[in-house]
Amino acid sequence: MKNISFLLLGIFFGIIMFKSEAASYFRIYEMFQFKSFHMYGIMGTALALGITGIYFIKQFDIKSFGGNSIAFQDKDKSFPRAIFGGIIFGLGWALSGLCPGPMFTMMGAGYLPVVIVFFSALAGTFCYGVIRDKLPH
Amino acid sequence: MIALIMFLLVLMGKKFGLSSNLRAMCSIGGAGKKYTFFDYDWKASSWNLFFALGTIIGGFVAAHFLSTNIAIDLEPSVIADLHQKGFSSAGTAYAPTSLFTTSVFSDPGSLSMLIIGGFLVGFGARYAGGCTSGHAIMGLSTLQLPSLIAVLGFFIGGLIMIHILFPIIFGQ
């Protein structure tokens, strides 16, 4: 039953991704050209609200719906991981115009070739898992 | 509204991040038997798969029931630039028709853009430990330094692609 609420949240997210045009290849291109405020507005707003909200959750120890304390998982503190992984991700993001969220959104929206991007991303994830011991972490 | 979704997930005791699903799907496919990275309890994050499924449905609903004119209103200079690079649908479509319609299947150049791009996104997201949602939104909202570095990396990579590699790829 709980999964239904995640499904509904996902639907909401997909609609926002499509309607905000964050799933558009053109918007991503425009963002990297610094020619429009559009994407920066979307992410900036989300961040400003996000930082404020998380601050209040931490400050007042707001409990989850289940009544538990909320623990925030720290990201792995590895410089090479973040920078090399980030750059590789950025290259792919600009090339395909899609990050994982919009990938799902665009498949749903009926852009068939995005299925190729999705399976390539799966292959990329798989390759990372295979060679991760050989990468600087 | 993206922040609202993140709050709801946090209040439900979860985190926001789409790319983890790619790892889960590899595990479901059986990759855990051979590679330890995929040998983890993906069932604990199956809620996220429902979220991803929802995102697909959301895309369908938005494109088919909530949109009449989906052409992106781009900056005129960006449209001119994209036209020059062969994206003739810039200004009249949601995404380039040369890449996102079935015509791509007979165009090896565009097809390889999708394949290589997707591969790098999947590889990079896992290497960096998150994607735009996990690092740029969730990670930065919780003020984590690795996320700031990763987002910096996203932009370094993106800028290299658009400003250095694109002019080479499109021969300008």
Min Cα–Cα distance to chain A from B75, Å: 7
| Identity of the residue numbered A80 | P
pLDDT of residue A71: 85
Cβ neighbors of A112 (< 8 A, separation 6 or more) are B101, B102
- What is the mean predicted confidence (pLDDT) over B5-10? 92
Write out chain A residues lying below 8 Å of B66, CB-based.
15, 18-19
Residue B172: band (very low, low, confident or very high) from pLDDT cuts 50, 70, 90 = low
Structure token digits, residue B132: 């735009």
Q: For residue A15, tell me if it sits in a domain.
A: yes
- Does a structural domain hold residue A59? no
Q: pLDDT per residue over B105-121, tens digit each?
A: 999 999 999 999 999 99
Inter-chain touch A91–B124, beta carbons under 8 Å: yes
Work out the average pLDDT over B52-61.
97
Domain coordinates in residue numbering, chain B:
1-66, 69-104, 107-172
> DSSP string covering A30-85, please?
HHHTT--SHHHHHHHHHHHHHHHHHHHHHHTTPPPTTSPPPPPPPPP--HHHHHHH
- Within a domain: A29: yes
pTM: 0.94
Give the closest of A13, A30, A70 to B54, CB-based.
A13
Quote the pLDDT of residue A93.
97
- pLDDT band per the 50, 70, 90 thresholds, residue A1: low
CA distance B63 to B73: 16
B114 and A CB contact within 8 Å: yes
pLDDT of residue B58: 97
Is pLDDT of B155 > 80?
A: yes
What share of chain A in percent tops pLDDT 70? Answer: 99
**What is the number of domains present in chain A?**
1
Of B111, B128, B146, the CB nearest to A89: B128
The answer to the question of residue A122 being in a domain is yes
Across the interface, do A113 and B102 touch by the CB < 8 Å criterion?
A: yes
Per-residue pLDDT, A74: 87
Specify the 3-state DSSP secondary structure of A119: helix
| Average pLDDT of the segment spanning B125-153 | 95
> What one-character-per-residue DSSP string does chain B give?
-HHHHHHHHHHTT----STHHHHHHHHHTTGGGT-GGG-S-GGGGHHHHHHHHHHHHHHHHHHHHS-S-------HHHHHHHHHTT-TTTTTSSS-HHHHSGGGGG-HHHHHHHHHHHHHHHHHHHHHT--IIIIIIIIHHTT-HHHHHHHHHHHHHHHIIIIIIHHHHTT-
Domain that holds residue A124: 2-36+74-134
Is residue A106 assigned to a domain?
A: yes
